[in-house]
Chains A and B, each alone.
Chain A
Amino acid sequence: MSELSHEKLAGEFALLCELTEADRADRLANLLVSDPSLGKELSALFAHADKAPLLDKASVIITQKIMAPGEEWRPGQKVGDFTLGPRLGGGAFGTVFLAQQTSLGRRVALKITPNIGREGQTLAPLDHPHIVRIFSEGRCESGNRLLCLQYIPGVSLEQLLKAFPHGPERTTDLIEYLENSLPGGEPATLLASRLGERAAFSALSLCGVLHTWTEQIASALAYAHDRGVLHLDVKPGNIIIDHYGKAWLSDFNVSLQSLADANELKLNMFGGTDFYMAPEHREAMKTGTPTAFAALSSATDVYSLAKVMDETAEQWTAKRKKWDAVPCRVGTYVDDPKDRPTAAQWAVEARNALKLAEAVQASGTLPLNDWIERDLRSAAVLAVLIPQIIGALVNLVYNGSQIVDWLDDSQREVFKQLCLFYNPVCFALGTYFLFPRMAPVFDSLPRSAADARELRRTALSFPNRAFTIPCLLWVGSFVVFPFGIHFFSSPLPELATYLHFLLSFLFSALVSGTYSYLFSGLVIFRFLYPRLWWGTESISTTAPLELKCVEQRLRIFCWSAGAIPIMGAALFLFLSRPDDGHTLYRWLTLILMSVGVLGFGVAIRIQNYLEKFLQRLTSRS
């Protein structure tokens, strides 16, 4: 562009600047017609004029930078009311020291920053157990701002990530590191009142640790968001873990006090850490337009926290396969702000996930754990079918050897036919009534809270159905066999034979039903139920209601798993006829008693396992 037209451009620009927005738009539209090249150039200039304040601001900041305030302060130095201790950290905007406040004789974290932004005012109204508190704000002689903050003995998550590149082996390693890495190498002072907190933290699994921190920081963010404050720089360096394992959100220097304050937006929008920045935040930084700034919301912080926790989880669990055991997310960062959960929702989710992680950890692992986790559907099917198949076989052998002896040839023939007919029918019917209804539970993850509730209801009904449906079919066989033989051939020899059939089927029904309940309960309660949560439903409040009767039922079934076979053996002792072969008689009694004892052993193991899991899940803490 020639010099002349550049001057013309500048002149026209100055003219347009004086107009109101509407008039300017009109004139620009006219210019686009009368002098297209000038009009286009001017529109482009106005399109970028929004970003221009950045040039004002940048010059001030760059000048301030040269002062490098942090560089000037040294431990031991006196600054106003404070004596500086070791340097705790330095961000883009200042340096933080551990300091002794002389007048009050307390230890504080003193942040020395250039006098820009409103970190103090933003922080002052925030009073949350996971947000670093501010005590006071002042100026030092050089004009720098002194923020007197609560001192949190601990280290940043960033430092922890560096110290444990692949995650700590045990949580106690983490605690040990935290206690030994306090600033200035001072020993950790533990408050007796908080020892419980530390012990509870030490007992967490790694997964539990991450969920705990996520929950704590998410709740801190939710609290700040409620008060219109955006943090806008959530990153590992700004999350402090104290030596009790508690996470604190710090460093509000690029935060915004009010979303509505557009000037504030522009003034402060120089911060943020690229790697953890939400797309809309990056956009706002790049373009600097008011529209781009307006796109910032609480979801922006949620993205950053998700990114932080995701990074931590990935780094710490890359070499551990157990991670997937807990289905709730630690962090999922999605590009569209609308699709992100709110911080409050996420805090509940994290609490749920923690609950699950604790429950999983408390229950320990079973030999088939991995396989069950991988294929829940097959596991559930087998959990019901195996006891039923074994029950059917044992029943068949028993009936075939004990009852059929009393029948004549034609009756035996009918018995055989009925066996061939009724068993497949039973399994087909049972499968039909039991499994198709369950399919959605295995097929889909919940899409809404109502959906999740429905799926959980269906899932929880499964063990009950796995007991009742086969039992009904067994009762059916009491009708089908003796009366089938009666009808197709001739009446059974004595009333006792009918009773014998009844007892035999009833006994099989109870034994196989009991084991079906226990095995399927194991799959459902421990592996499936924890997956069926959505959104803000809190496990701690909902699970106790939903699982109210489960523990009691488990105990009953556990006892009956042992008691019924033993009772069967006892009955057998009474019911068997004196002319029964001694050998068979002894073997059957022995087998029944062994089944009783073994079954009781297995059942008690399952019950114990589930009880631990469920107790953790339903505890209100």
Chain B
Amino acid sequence: MDAQTKTQITRYLADFSGGNERALDELVPLVYPYLKQVARGFLRKEYNAGSLQPTALVHEAFIKLLGQNAVEFQNRNHFYALVASFMRRVLVDRARRHQASKRKDDTDYKYFLEQDQEEGFGETTDEFLVQLEVALKKLETVDPRRAKLVELKFFANLGNEEIASAMDLSLATVKRDWLFAKAWLAKEMAEALEN
């Protein structure tokens, strides 16, 4: 990793923290290879309990990229927001890319949420993620708060308590909001499928 790229990454991170979501466009391709590498590294480590937390994953990736001290986030909540948006971008991009490259006619075995050997998920998982993204975009326009919550919950895999503290909400509200957001998204996705 050359110094210039490091500076770039740091700048994008700062941009993102400053509220510029577009910074992710640049950030994701730079960090993605490291993310995979880190994920693999995690598996070899004995302490890991088997479930890979996106927060830990992204954190490690940045540390690997920029070094321990170079990674600075304003606070924990900012970091969570980054992880959620980042993972969302990574997964959805991957799903879209994979879907585009897999447009062939032969009846492949389709697995819902299938783990592909190399990259992306099975077709149906891709569809699921892409549909979710569309619905989530829509939710963002009518209800940004709950959309944020979904992002944190779904993509950063944060627990309700963490979300409550990150979004400064009561635990009950988080639970309520999550119930509603889920139903709303499910309905939206189902309706999109029907059309």
Question: Which of A's residues lie within 8 Å of B, judged by CB?
Answer: 1, 3, 6, 10, 13-14, 17, 44-49, 51-56, 58-72, 90, 92-93, 114-115, 139, 141-144, 235, 237, 270-275, 285-287
5 A-B contacts (beta carbon < 8 Å): A6-B143, A10-B143, A139-B50, A143-B51, A270-B112
Of the candidate stretches B66-74, B113-121, B161-169, the one touching chain A is B113-121
Partner of B57, one of A55, A66, A72: A66
The residue of chain B having its C-beta at the shortest distance from the C-beta of A72 within the complex is: B43
Checking B112, B125, B157 against A63 with a beta-carbon cut-off of 8 angstroms, the contacting residue is: B157
A55, B182: Cβ atoms closer than 8 Å: yes
B39 touches A273 (CB 8 A): no
B48 at the interface (CB under 8 A from A): yes
Flag if B121 contacts A51 (CB, 8 Å): no
Contacts A62-B91, A65-B121, A66-B57: A52 and B183 contacting too (C-beta < 8 A)?
yes
Contacts of A45 in B (CB 8 A): 180, 183-184, 187
Report the stretch among B12-20, B23-31, B103-111 that lies at the interface. B103-111
**List of B residues within 8 angstroms of A272 by Cβ:** 111-112
By a CB distance below 8 angstroms, the chain B residues around A66 are: 39, 52, 54, 57
Q: Other than the known A45-B183, A58-B113, what 11 A-B pairs have Cβ atoms closer than 8 Å?
A: A47-B187, A52-B179, A52-B186, A62-B121, A62-B125, A66-B39, A67-B43, A92-B111, A114-B50, A272-B111, A275-B107
Q: How far is the CB of A13 from chain B (nearest CB, A)?
A: 5
Contact A273 B109 (CB under 8 A): yes
Q: Contact between B48 and A142 (Cβ–Cβ < 8 Å)?
A: yes
User: Which one of A46, A60, A286 contacts B183 once the chains associate, using CB atoms below 8 Å?
Assistant: A46
Contact of B109 among A49, A55, A275 (CB under 8 A): A275
CB pair A44 B39 closer than 8 Å: no
| Closest Cβ–Cβ distance, residue B65 to chain A (whole Å) | 17
Do B112 and A285 have beta carbons less than 8 Å apart? yes
When A and B form their complex, which 8 residue pairs have the shortest distance between CB atoms, in order from nearest?
A143-B50, A52-B182, A274-B110, A48-B187, A48-B186, A49-B183, A141-B46, A51-B186
A10 and B180 in contact (CB under 8 A), knowing A55-B185, A67-B43, A274-B110? yes
Contact with A along B26-64 (1 / 0, CB 8 A): 000000000000011011111011111110010000000
On whether the beta carbons of B177 and A72 are closer than 8 Å, the reply is no
Provide the bound-state CA to CA distance between A310 and B183, in Å. 40
Q: Which residue of B lies closest to A236 (CB)?
A: B109
Cα distance A35–B179 in the bound complex, in angstroms: 22
Docked pose: A456 CA to B125 CA in angstroms: 53
Does B85 have its Cβ within 8 Å of any Cβ on chain A?
A: no
A45 to B179, CA, bound (A): 10
Instruction: Select from chain A the residue with minimum beta-carbon distance to B155.
Output: A59
Interface residues of B in 142-171 (CB under 8 A from A): 142-143, 146, 150, 153-155, 157
| Majority-rule SS of A interface residues | helix
**Interface secondary structure of B, over-half rule:** helix
- Nearest-neighbor residue (CB-CB) of B139 within chain A: A6
Asked whether, in the complex, the Cβ of A48 is within 8 Å of the Cβ of B190, the reply is: yes
In the bound complex, do residue A61 and residue B117 qualify as a contact, i.e. CB atoms below 8 Å apart? no
Q: Does B176 contact A (CB under 8 A)?
A: yes
In whole angstroms, what is the CA distance A285 to B117 when docked? Answer: 23
Please give, as numbers and ranges, the residues of chain A lying within 8 Å of B155 by CB-CB distance: 59
Which one of B91, B110, B117, B183 has the greatest number of beta carbons of chain A within 10 Å? B183
Q: Is the CB of A63 within 8 A of B51?
A: yes
With A143-B49, A275-B107 in contact, is A65–B43 under 8 Å at CB? Answer: no
* Alpha-carbon distance between A62 and B87 when the two chains are bound, in angstroms: 11
Does A55 contact B154, Cβ atoms closer than 8 Å? Answer: yes
Query: Quick one: given A59-B154, A141-B46, are A64 and B111 in contact (CB under 8 Å)?
Result: no
Q: Which residue of A lies closest to B45 (CB)?
A: A142
Please pick, from B42, B114, B122, B129, the residue contacting A67 in the complex, using a CB distance under 8 A.
B42
| Contact A237–B50 (Cβ < 8 Å) | no
Whether B10 is near chain A, meaning CB under 8 Å from some CB there, is: no
B residues contacting A by CB (< 8 A) are 39-40, 42-46, 48-54, 57, 91, 107, 109-115, 117, 121-122, 124-125, 128-129, 132, 142-143, 146, 150, 153-155, 157, 176-177, 179-180, 182-187, 190, 193
How far does the alpha carbon of A270 sit from the alpha carbon of B128 in the complex, in Å? 12
Assembly CA distance A587 to B122 (angstroms):
83
Q: Is the CB of A68 within 8 A of B154?
A: no
CA gap between A435 and B191 in the complex, in Å:
63
- State whether A69 touches B51 (Cβ < 8 A): no
Q: Is B44's CB under 8 angstroms from A142's CB? A: yes
Tell me the nearest residue of chain B to A45, going by C-beta: B183
A48 touches B111 (CB 8 A): no
Contact of B43 among A115, A142, A273 (CB under 8 A): A142
Enumerate chain A residues within 8 angstroms of B143, measured Cβ to Cβ: 3, 6, 10
- Asked if A17 and B111 sit within 8 Å, CB to CB, the answer is no
In the complex, what distance in Å separates the CA atom of A67 from the CA atom of B48?
Answer: 11
Asked if A67 and B39 sit within 8 Å, CB to CB, the answer is yes
**Minimal beta-carbon separation of A48 from chain B (angstroms):** 4
With A68-B115, A144-B50 already in contact, the answer to whether A237 and B186 are too (CB < 8 A) is no
Q: With A and B bound together, what is the CA distance between A271 and B124 in angstroms?
A: 11
Q: Which chain B residues lie closer than 8 Å to A14 at the CB level? A: 176, 179-180
Q: How far is the CB of A97 from chain B (nearest CB, A)?
A: 15
Given contacts A14-B176, A285-B112, contact A59 B153 (CB under 8 A): yes
Which of B52, B53, B177, B190 interacts with A51 by CB under 8 Å? Answer: B190
User: How close is A330's CB to chain B, nearest CB, in angstroms?
Assistant: 20
B52 touches A67 (CB 8 A): yes
Within the assembled complex, what's the spacing in Å between the Cα atoms of A71 and B42? Answer: 12
Q: Most chain-A Cβ atoms within 10 A of its Cβ — which of B57, B115, B124?
A: B115
A275 with B186, Cβ < 8 A, contacts A60-B157, A90-B117 known: no
Alpha-carbon separation in the docked complex, A72 to B52 (Å): 14
Name which of A14, A92, A235 has the most chain B CB atoms within 10 A of its CB: A92
* Interface residue from A62, A144, A275 paired with B110 (Cβ < 8 Å): A275
Bound-complex Cα distance A62 to B39 (A):
13
Shortest Cβ distance from B39 into A: residue: A66
The residues of B that contact A235 with a CB separation of less than 8 Å are: 109
Contacts A67-B52, A114-B50; is A274 near B186 (CB within 8 Å)? no
| Chain A neighbourhood of B154, CB < 8 A | 55, 58-59
A237–B108 Cα distance when bound, in Å, is 12
CA distance A3 to B145 in the complex (A): 12
Decide if B51 touches A72 in the complex (CB within 8 Å).
no
- How many whole Å from A77's CB to the nearest CB in chain B? 10
Question: Does B109 lie within 8 Å of A48, measured CB to CB?
Answer: no
Complex contact B183–A72 (CB within 8 A): no
> Are B142 and A64 in contact, with the CB atoms below 8 A?
no
Q: Which has the most chain A C-beta neighbours within 10 Å: B48, B53, B129, B193?
A: B48
B179 to chain A, nearest CB (A): 6
In the complex, chain B residues whose CB is within 8 Å of the CB of A115 = 50-51
Complex CA gap A47/B114 in Å reads 27
Partner of B52, one of A64, A92, A93: A64
